[in-house]
Structure 1
Amino acid sequence: MKRSKYRPSPLESRPARIAMAAAVLVAAGALVVTFVSSGGKGTADAATSPDQFVPIQKVRPGVRPPKPSAAGSTGRFTVDCGTNGIGKFSPDNPVAQPGIKNGAEHVHDFVGNRAITANSSNADLDASGTTCRNGDKSSYFWPVVRIDKTVRGNNRIQQALAQTQPMIACPSVRDRLPAVPVSARNTVDRLLNDLDRLEADADKRMAASYGRIDPTLNNQILGTLRVRRATLIKDISATIADAGDNRPGLVSLVDCDVSYDGMHASMHSAAHTASITAGQVANPQVQCPTVRDKLPGVPDRALSEVNRNLDELDRQISEADERLVTTRGQGGPAFIDNAILGPLRAKRVAVLDRIATAIGRQAARPRDLEGLAACTVNQAPGDRAAGTPPTSSSTPAGPAVLPEPQGPNLELPGNTGGIVRPAKVLIEYRGNATSKVVPMPKFLRALTGDAKPTSRGPANARAAWTCSGFADRLSDRYPICPAGSRVQRVHDFPGCWDGRNIDSDNHRKHVAFADKVTGACPQGFRAIPQLRITISYDLPRDVQLKGQYALDSFPEENHNPFSDHDDFINVNSVRTMQRIAACINRGKNCS
């Protein structure tokens, strides 16, 4: 992934949310996008100010579920996956930014699948353990909520944005490819180089928005880039298939995004870093050299064996990542080296030797593959002294410039303060008002809401905030709840599926929301169990009244409540998903 030219300084305190109004981004030359608000300011301006908080009683009731017809499905299936008691936190987003480490730039709560990272394959997910009581290995994740009582200068975000060159960030295709047949190697390399040129050209076009946020330009550039990348990636897939191997599924790698990473360079404070005690870190991950992009063209007779072993390398990393989560805090300083990295290296040596041998039977044996065996762990607990600035982590794809989450509060630039653990997480699958549901396919990806309504426009953003006891109203602002009521986020996912694809080039087109009035799916789509996740928090009332809680977010969003979002990968077994659909279609309540 391409990152900003700026290298981060030490962390600073998160800006207090009672800070700036829409004029901040306007003054920096930003476009302010108008949307129809359920009670907010009517702008998606990335500024968090007092009017971003609203007493829930002042939000108009507006949630009116469609009335079920006789042909509808009215059942409900609930899943208990806990509230992230194992502490699986990560700034990865495996759905929206697959293959991009730290792509979210903010921390997510994860429940369900214990091994998932940005690089997890479907086989890795299927082999993982889970926090769900019924064995559901699906992954459910959303941005954390923090309480932060610190104060900042009103112009911090404006200054940071004014010094930032927005850049294009794309998932790497090179290190996600299967073994490339000898006869396809030259063509695939040429197409990969064409992908690089497309990204470089898009980056040059981004110079027109230096120092400001321009969603119209962003979407023009990204839309053109998506179309062209889709064509090239389809050509890569077809070239590999035509040469005799299976067609690889690469559609998840098509979509790119605009990165404002450079804002971090102006949002750091050495003083704040010095106050952080190194300790708990967000979901430490194993970092291994990539192998797929280092292989030569593979002889046809060796393809199946090489691909099996490449998949085995992925599973080994996934298993090690899961162990990092489940053994956190165990052993002494050498535990990770002796219990995780040492055994992993030995396993990788054996697999890399099998790959070299398989190729060597038909062609020249690759040399020095064993040099790719050793792995490290990013941010192992205790590997950084208190007060030491986070350094750029090195990944096989190149140096990243974003800091890792640091300290007991898992803080990132602009996202600081104590994380509030949910009091309750309710995961439920629901029916469709007009038809029966069909089981959703295994490994279906879906998301709801939009993490970037400021830089990409608010078309996909959804009001998600409410209070317990006020289910008939949702707000695009942070709610202030009456005494005894919990702050809630209600995330409804698309309940319609195109019947063919588990992902699409923008991670949205393969699924759709049912009609708000009738509940019917769009033409060509069929109803699936519709996922709803309700996250409840016990937040002190004075914190609510003072506007001292907010979402983690991308830097340009500045904790905009309208940037709330949620992501999901279905790893239910086929049998379990059939049971879920049957329960819903019979009108039962099951778990």
Structure 2
Amino acid sequence: MGRNTRKRRTPLATKIVAGAAALAVGGGGLVWANFYASAHEDHGGHNRTRSAGAQVATIDCPDIGQQIRDVPDRARGEVDGELATMDSQITNAYQRLATTRRAQAGDSRFVQNTILGPLKDRRKAIIDRIQLEINRAGGKADDNLDELAGCQGRPADQQNGGGQDGGGQDGGGQNQDDNGNGAAGPFADDFVDINDVEPNSRDLENGFAANGDGGSTGSFTAVCGVNENNLFNSDNLIVAPGVDNGAHHTHDYVGNQDNSAFSSDEDLANADTSCQNQGDRSTYYWPVLRLQDGTQEFDANDQGGGAEGNVGKILKASQAEIKFVGNQRSDVVAMPKFLRIITGDAKAFTNGVANANSSFSCTGFEDRQVTDKYVLCPEGSQVVRTSNFQSCWDGQNIDSTNHRDHVAFVQRDGSCPNGFQAIPQLQVRLVYDVPAPAVENGQVRNPYAVDGFPEQLHKPITDHNDFINVMDEDLMNEVVDCINRGEDCQ
């Protein structure tokens, strides 16, 4: 499976090329780190009590991108570039954490002095630049952002046998039970038997279907394939335009065939599409699902791939069902061209679940949806990933500073919040033939997992999905009319 060639041009924002070398452990993987923190250590302005010898799995940093608001348009590119630099800093700090286990064992202050302290200083410098860029462009930066510069070491709430002191080679060798990624997840506790999931028990506020028996009851299905063209990259055009490897994990793409961090709206509008309806040049993309079976993929040694803990065989969906539906309470209006929507949160493990919107299930059991576990399906059943997007729009903006405020989920009664209007809700259902992992004695062998930022430990709660509307006006009007008439079209 090969990487598609991507053209490179002058970046829209500061171009960041991930400079961290592939980790010098078996298979380019990552290893667990022990963090011997003293009690009442101060991390990032928060007084945290930690027991001596607490095991740290990852680095937890406040998400600056979700905290800033009202960035002037002419500063957006610079701010996005600075935030991407900050993501790279966290990745590099995590890699440092993961490859210094022996040093940490011998020095109770090693993590604070050599990783977290310098990381805070680097983040503070970026925050200062972001504030300056916003103010220069005529905005007013939040003076309190400096309080978010500090990060903390996060102890493991789940652990693999390879994470214990005796489980791996001293000095950062690959653990025998690490699935090729140095015990960067997933772990046995990240999986649940679908039979143990209660029907209709999904409890997140986000992501329930917007359509129902009232309002606009039709649907429009976009038939766009399952990435037969093998279009993969680790860019993120929405969050990090102009930044190479802005996602730090690999995406699948269907629909628009000119997806890279350097694609302009004009490029998207003029690109080829994998959709049957050639009026739909929208870009639909999501993190790839991998089977951690030791397969050396095309990106095994690349940033975004194996060099950042995303290892194993990329599993292509056997079905990628893309559907737009209506609203329970009202007709829908047309989406503006180039509207950008992200659903879910690639950093939900450290950010918390406020923006999480993942759903895993099995064919034949889809009344059982789980948000924070991967599912173990019975023989003959396939793994299902479902994303129901935000379907309320502020009526003005195609994007926002944090890439969320311009859209919203419907409320519990199916209506949109005040000031928002209903648009067609995008629903993406991905089905995979996945060999069931073996989970025995607290260990998982050959697990599957979504790609993610390395410090997120491949947690299922970090699953997410992205969309840029590039339908032509005639097709978008057809979608709206079909939904509002209560018909099912494609």
**TM-score normalised by the chain length of structure 2:** 0.61
- Summarize the alignment of residues 104-143 of structure 1 with structure 2, pairs less than 5 Å apart: 104-135=247-278, 136-143=280-287
The 2-side partners of 1:495 and 1:33 are apart by 36
Show the counterpart of 2:243.
100
- Partner residue of 1:551 out of 439, 443, 450: 450
Q: Any gaps of 5 or more consecutive residues in structure 2? A: 1-14, 35-53, 59-103, 105-110, 112-151, 158-183, 203-207
Q: State the distance in 2 between where 1:82 and 1:65 align.
A: 23
Contact 1:17–1:559 (8 Å) recurs in 2: no
- Structure-1 residue corresponding to 2:190: 52
Separation in 2, partners of 1:569, 1:67: 21
TM alignment of 1:323-334, pairs within 5 A? none
**Does 1:575 find its partner at 2:470?**
no
Deviation, structure 1 residue 149: 3.1
- 2:199 is equivalent to residue 61 of structure 1: yes
CA distance, structure 2, for counterparts of residue 431 and residue 17 of structure 1 = 46
How far residue 470 of structure 1 moved from its aligned partner, in angstroms, is 2.2
1:541 maps to a residue whose letter is A
Change over 3 Å in CA distance of 1:55–1:117 after alignment to 2: same
Q: CA deviation at 1:458?
A: 2.7
Which one-letter code corresponds to 2:322 in the other structure?
I
Higher share of residues assigned helix = 1
Offset of residue 8 of structure 1: 4.1
For residue 48 of structure 1, report the CA deviation from its aligned partner.
2.8
Residue 13 (1) aligns with residue 27 (2):
yes
In structure 1, runs of 5+ residues without a counterpart are 35-45, 151-274, 283-388, 391-402
User: Does 1:587 pair with 2:483?
Assistant: no
Aligned equivalents of 2:269 and 2:25: distance in 1? 37
Aligned to 2:333: 438
Amino acid aligned to 2:292: D
Q: 1:67 to 1:130 in 2, by over 3 A?
A: closer
CA deviation after TM superposition for structure 1 residue 31, in Å: 4.2
Distance 1:565 1:426 in 2: 16
Where does 1:537-548 land on structure 2 (aligned, <5 Å)? 537-542=432-437, 546=445, 548=447
Q: Please tell me the residue identity of whatever aligns with 1:536.
A: V
Alpha-carbon shift at residue 59 of structure 1 (Å): 1.4
CA RMSD of aligned residues (A): 3.2
Farther off after superposition, 22-31 or 477-486: 22-31
Show the 5 A alignment for 1:356-505.
Answer: 403-404=302-303, 411-475=306-370, 476-505=372-401
- Structure 2 residue matching 1:556: 3-state secondary structure: helix
Structure-2 separation of matches of 1:143 and 1:587: 32
Which fold has the larger relative contact order, with Cα–Cα distance below 8 Å and residues 6 or more apart in sequence?
Answer: 1
How far the C-alpha of 1:119 sits from its partner, in A, is 1.4
**Equivalent residue of 2:481, what SS?**
helix
Among the aligned pairs, what percent are the same residue? Answer: 42
Alignment partners' CA distance in 1, 2:193 and 2:33 = 19
* Matching residue of 2:229: 86
Residue 25 (str. 1) matches residue 57 (str. 2): yes
1:510 aligns with 2:406: yes
Give how far 1:124 is off.
Answer: 0.7
Residue 267 of structure 2 aligns to a residue whose secondary structure is: helix
Matched residues in 1 for 2:375 and 2:218: separation?
30
Distance 1:575 1:66, change over 3 A: closer
Deviation at 1:18, TM superposition (A): 12
In 2, distance between residues paired with 1:4 and 1:74? 46
SS at match of 1:25: strand
Cα distance in 2 between the residues matched to 1:7 and 1:67: 47
Q: Does the residue aligned with 1:98 lie in a helix, a strand or coil?
A: coil
The runs of at least 4 aligned residues of structure 1 exceeding 6 Å deviation read: 16-20
Flag the 1:5–1:589 CA change in 2: closer, same or farther, 3 A. Answer: closer
Tell me which structure has the larger Cα radius of gyration. 1
Report the Cα offset of residue 281 of structure 1: 4.5
Distance 2:406 2:353 in 1: 20
Aligned partner of residue 54 in structure 1, secondary structure: strand
What is the aligned residue count? 329
Task: Judging by fraction of residues, say which structure has more strand.
Answer: 2
Change over 3 Å in CA distance of 1:586–1:33 after alignment to 2 = farther
User: CA separation in 1, counterparts of 2:341 and 2:377?
Assistant: 30
How much has 1:464 moved relative to structure 2?
A: 1.4
Rounded Cα–Cα distance in structure 1 between residues aligned with 2:286 and 2:461: 14
The alpha carbon displacement at 1:471 in A equals 2.3
Distance 2:424 2:293 in 1: 40
Asked whether the equivalents of residues 18 and 50 of structure 1 are also in contact (C-alpha less than 8 Å), the reply is no
Question: What is the match of residue 345 of structure 1?
Answer: none
